[in-house]
């Protein structure tokens, strides 16, 4: 439990120092405070209860690390922009030595950003898309330029998937499953073209079936979401139509200074 409370202290301190209104760190701080209150109020001391508290605390810690890492990257990127502006100014003044120094600082920052960029992507691939590692290793040896371009594209895909994971874990799981088997099918197709092995053909067809079924499941999931949104819209419209007279009267009173009402 001591480790958990250290996490709590870190998050609460950070939230007080850095947070703005509606800041994600402030949201984490609120969650920690709620968790602490539940600990103080609870009489439970079971192993399951401790496990639940520990898991929630560790999840908060991971979220905080992600927020701080993104904030650090953003700060470095802002610094690069500022340095580039200074370079333009120094070039106008023909201060070559200062320009060289500023460009050197930019290179160091970009190297740090690229290192973090690759590290984060490798971790994501290892956890969710291990099949991709084989393709990247071969590509790095055979075509370094295409490898770097692929890394950039994968990083963008990873950020989209991570956002999806936060917003819709079920859809994230389906998207990762589809991506994994799409990659696997590409690998199997390459091997089958070379060998015409029937076992590989069977595996390839299985992977293609999984990709198809998973994409259908994703579309059904999206359709259900749209149906729910449409139903909510219908209900809102029905309420407005039903209360037309009241809404117009309230709007009239607001416009004439008799009351405050959100139209």
CB 61 within 8 A of CB 7: yes
pLDDT tens for 71-104 read 666 776 777 777 788 788 777 777 777 777 777 7
Which distant-in-sequence residues (6+ apart) come within 8 Å of 131 by Cβ? 180, 183, 184, 187
CB 184 within 8 A of CB 133: no
Most confident listed range (49-58, 185-194, 212-221): 212-221
The pTM of the full predicted model, rounded to 2 decimals, is 0.50
Q: Taking the CB of residue 256, how many other CB atoms lie within 10 A of it?
A: 8
pLDDT tens for 24-68 read 555 655 666 666 666 555 555 566 666 666 677 667 666 666 665
Of 153, 199, 201, the C-alpha closest to 179 is 153
Q: Model confidence at 16, in pLDDT bands (50, 70, 90)? A: very low
CA distance 254 to 234: 26
Helix ranges, 129-242 (H)? 131-142, 144-167, 169-195, 198-242
- Residue 94 backbone class (left: φ over 0; alpha: ψ -120 to 50; beta: rest): left
CA distance 130 to 100: 41
- The long-range contacts involving 129-135, CB below 8 angstroms and separated by at least 24 positions, are 129/176, 129/179, 129/180, 129/183, 130/180, 131/180, 131/183, 131/184, 131/187, 132/183, 134/187, 135/183, 135/186, 135/187
CA distance 171 to 31: 25
Q: Say what the pLDDT of residue 117 is.
A: 62
Q: Which has the higher per-residue pLDDT, 144 or 235?
A: 235
CA distance 2 to 163: 31
Average pLDDT over residues 143-166: 80
Give percent above pLDDT 70 in the chain. Answer: 65
CA distance 80 to 102: 9
């Amino acid at each position: 439990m001591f480790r958990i409370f250290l996490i709590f202290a870190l998050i609460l301190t950070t939230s007080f120092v850095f947070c703005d209104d509606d800041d994600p760190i402030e949201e984490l701080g609120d969650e920690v405070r709620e968790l602490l209150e539940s600990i103080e109020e609870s009489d439970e001391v079971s192993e399951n209860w401790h496990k639940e508290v520990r898991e929630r605390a560790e999840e908060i810690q991971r979220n905080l690390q992600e927020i701080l890492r993104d904030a650090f990257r953003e700060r470095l990127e802002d610094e690069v922009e500022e340095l580039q502006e200074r370079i333009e100014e120094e070039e106008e003044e023909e201060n070559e030595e200062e320009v060289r120094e500023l460009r050197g600082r930019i290179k160091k920052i970009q190297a740090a950003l690229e290192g973090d960029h690759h590290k984060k992507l490798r971790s994501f691939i290892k956890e969710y898309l291990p099949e991709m590692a084989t393709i990247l290793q071969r590509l790095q040896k055979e075509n370094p330029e295409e490898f770097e371009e692929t890394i950039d594209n994968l990083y963008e895909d990873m950020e989209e998937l991570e956002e999806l994971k936060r917003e819709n874990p079920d859809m994230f799981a389906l998207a990762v499953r589809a991506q994994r088997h799409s990659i696997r099918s590409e690998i199997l197709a390459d091997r089958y073209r070379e060998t015409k092995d029937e076992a590989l053909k069977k595996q390839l067809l299985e992977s293609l079936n999984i990709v198809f079924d998973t994409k259908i499941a994703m579309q059904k999931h999206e359709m259900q979401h749209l149906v729910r949104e449409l139903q909510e819209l219908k209900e809102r419209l029905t309420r407005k139509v039903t209360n037309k007279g009241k809404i117009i009267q309230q709007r009239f009173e607001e416009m004439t200074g008799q009351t405050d009402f959100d139209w």
